[in-house]
Amino acid sequence: MTGKNPQAVGAGFKPAPAIPVLTSGSHLEKLLREGRFVVTAELGPPRGAERAVVEKKANLLNGYVDAVNITDCQTSVVRMSSIASAQILLEMGLEPVVQMTCRDRNRIALQSDLLGAWALGMKNLLCLTGDHPKFGDHPGAKPVFDLDSIHLLHMLKTMREEKKMLSGTPLEGEPRFFLGAAENPFADPFAFRSRRLAKKITAGAEFIQTQIVYNVDKFARWMEEVREKGLHKRAFILAGVTPLKSAGMAKYMKKHVPGMDVPDTIISRLEQKKSKAEGMDICVEIIGKLRQIEGLSGIHIMAIEWEEVVAQLVERVGLLPRPVASSRQ
């Protein structure tokens, strides 16, 4: 089959030219390029139209983190849109990282929504393939997956640097997002995970936020591969962490969250102590160990429906106060 669609046939994928530094003007990008160890956190929008929920959660994070990821209907559950929630954060003076999945939007909708997000002042974008709808509250929804996360990254990089849409149509004003991707070091095949990370970086990822780390040893082995490939010099790597509330939550994650590696030692500690404080202690220890790993640029805290502990966590690991970028405008 030839010549049917220039986007898909014989396009001969070539990495876009190297990016100029500080394209987005985002605070997160500035801090990372200054070599600071950054802290980001996740905010899950409400399952409803209540703006105050976003404001309340954002207030809990304000001043304790450098940027706030806004999830895009995580686990395929319908929530307030990530772009709308990010707009609320902008109005409050916080810096959002917009998460965007390929699950619900084709290439037309993705480009359209993200042009709008840039126009609204959003500067950081995390490009994800997204969970399958099967896991959510509308399991019969049609999965879109027109593009995958690597296509999404490359599309945004091309928009930024060549000022063109995926179709090649010139843009009237290009979005210059600081582009991020996720990677799960605990998924299989393990030997391919760092290679897949390399693909994401080649496609356009400048920062990486990983799946939640509980198995620090396995994460350290993955980071070794990352360093061998020099990927930590091509993108900023932030390790994901989540404080566990209980042994039940730990077991649930181990059993039901795809690609999650929760060692039994952690579960038994939570079973013995039976307190949220133990979950916090474990998280503090994990962050402490992660900071010893060469090539890591920060942590990403996903305190799932537990945003109130983020401030305490950041303080306990000695990462307060959060810096003001020297070049912040």
Which of 66/183 has CB closer to another protein? 183
Shortest Cβ 164–another protein spacing (Å): 14
Strand partners for 101: 128
Of the residues 33, 36, 51, 196, which one makes contact with another protein according to CB under 8 A: 196
How many beta carbons lie within 10 A of that of residue 137, not counting itself? Answer: 13
**What string of H, E and C letters represents the secondary structure of 80-148?**
CCHHHHHHHHHHHCCCEEEEEECCCCCHHHHHHHHHHHHHCCCCEEEEECCCCHHHCCCCCCCCCCCCC
258 binds another protein (CB under 8 A): yes
Helix (H, G, I), strand (E, B) or coil at 4: coil
Shortest Cβ 149–another protein spacing (Å): 8
DSSP, res 24:
S
Of the residues 69, 211, 215, 242, which one makes contact with another protein according to CB under 8 A: 211
What's the half-sphere exposure (Cβ side, CA atoms, 13 Å) at 253?
Answer: 23
Shortest Cβ 230–another protein spacing (Å): 14
Q: State the binding string over 115-144 for another protein (x if CB under 8 A, else -).
A: --------------xxxx-xx-------x-
Degrees, nearest 5: CA angle 167-170-173: 125
Of the residues 31, 41, 126, 150, which one makes contact with another protein according to CB under 8 A: 150
Of the residues 41, 60, 166, 244, which one makes contact with another protein according to CB under 8 A: 166
109 binds another protein (CB under 8 A): no
230 binds another protein (CB under 8 A): no
Best CA proximity match to 39, nearest among 315, 223, 259? 315
Query: Which residues of this protein are in contact with another protein, per CB under 8 A?
Result: 1, 4-5, 7-9, 11, 13, 15, 102-103, 107, 129-132, 134-135, 143, 145-148, 150-151, 154-155, 166, 182-184, 187-189, 192, 195-196, 198-199, 202-203, 211, 258-259
